[in-house]
Each structure stands twice: as structure tokens, then as C-alpha cells.
Amino acid sequence: MQPFVAMQGVAAPMPKINVDTDAIIAVQHVYTLSKVGLGRYLFHRWRYADDGSEKPDFVLNRAPFRCANVLVARANFGCGSSREHAVWALADFGIRVVIAPSFASIFYENCVKNGVLPLTLQEDRVEDLLVLLEHGADRVVAVDLQKMQVKFPDGSVHAFDINDAWRETLLKGLDPVSVAASHEDQIAAYQDRDRMTRPWVWSRSPNTKKETA
């Protein structure tokens, strides 16, 4: 997984509350284990008309937001089903950061596991940023995970918080398997202790075959 340390890019405003995972990627597009190519289905129902043409008023169909790396939305982003494909679609489109006042908990964890930073800011800060993105000339946002700061298009800098373990996961580009592998010694030590205290869990019955005449 690609580490996330710092980045800057175009931020797309999505002034909606309760954006659910079915809106992010519809259920008919999740019957795959591949993370590649899902970006074309991101917000499919909102981006495209029934005939497949783009809806010109949707934010990701407008310049400069077609190349957005940051998405800014209102509270409870990623609610609904727990489908990880929602984060896969965002990442495949090129979104590395989602900024919102709050996130659904499972969606938040799925973001971290897939190298997307779920950046939480106070609601009034998010509203200020949405106004800048919708009406300002500059739409570039800079995010520094090392310093835990985000720079708005007007030059103002705002601090944000993130769990230390999740921050480390993103900075090092670790997925859940890599995180577990980095603690092999601790895991082995726990298993040794557990064998001593609960030997019956680790015992195996010998394989026996029933004899036939």
C-alpha cells in the first residue's frame, strides 16, 4: 500500500450529509475482488444519466474537479452498508483524502486500511472550506499527516487529530497483513504463553483410521 505522508491536490466540494456507501458505489458494481477499475463506477448514479452520458452539473464532471484528489463532504460520510468497495472506488478514482465532520466507523477503518486518509474537522471549518471550493478561484488543498495539518485554498492552516495507530499505518503504508507481520515476535510470545496456560487448545488428536475386515 502506498504510504501517505503529505500531498496537495484539487479538492471537490460535495455539500451533502449522510452520503452512504450505496451512493458511493452501487451494489451491482461490487461483485468483484479487484480494486482496479472501480473508479469509473464512483457515484455512478449521480455522475451519469440513464443513457450513460455525464450529468454536467455533478461536481466530478466539472473542471477542475475531474482530477480531484480530495473530497469534502458533510457529516456521517460513508454510512450505510460496510462494503469496502466504496473506498476502493474512491482510491481508484484518485481520491487520497476525504474531509468531513464525521464518518461512519466501518467506512473510516476501511479508508485507513486502503491508504485513504479520513480527515475529520469541526463542522464550521468544513463549511468554510466548502464555501472556498464552491466560490473561490483556488481549489487546491494541502494535507500534511506528519504535522497533522491541512491548508485551505485561502492559506489558512488547521490542525486535525487522528488515532496514533491509524496515523502510523497510513504513514508507513501498512495494510492489515503488514501490520500483523510487523508484530510477529509479540504474536509468537503470546502463543508460547498460551500453550502453557491452555495446552488443551493446542493439542491435536492423532489421526486414526478405522480398520475394516
List of residues 6+ apart from 32 with CB closer than 8 A: 38, 85
Q: Is the pLDDT of residue 56 over 70?
A: yes
The residue-averaged pLDDT of 33-52 equals 95
For 169-202, the DSSP string reads HHHHT--HHHHHHTTHHHHHHHHHHHHHH-HHHH
pLDDT band at residue 202 using 50, 70 and 90 as cut-offs: confident
| 176 pLDDT more than 80 | no
Q: How far is CA 29 from the centre of its chain?
A: 18
Q: What is the mean pLDDT of the chain?
A: 92
SS3 73: strand
| Residue 212 clears pLDDT 50, i.e. is over it | no
157 pLDDT above the threshold of 90:
yes
Compare 38 and 187 and report the one with higher pLDDT. Answer: 38
**What are 126-146's pLDDT values in tens digits?**
999 999 999 999 999 999 999
pLDDT above 70 for 48: yes
- According to the model, what pLDDT value does residue 206 have? 53
Sorted by where each begins, the domain ranges of the chain are 6-172
> Distance of CA 114 to CAs 3, 109, 133, 143, 169, Å?
10, 9, 26, 17, 10
pLDDT of 209 higher than 80: no
Q: Cell match 501490520: residue?
A: 179
CATH 3.40.50.740 for domain 6-172, yes or no, is no
**Distance of alpha carbon 14 from alpha carbon 26, whole angstroms:** 18
Distance (Å, whole) CA 19 – CA 129? 18
Q: pLDDT grade, residue 213 (50/70/90)?
A: very low
More confident residue, 90 or 203: 90
pLDDT at 169 over 70: yes
**Over pLDDT 70: what percentage of the chain?**
92
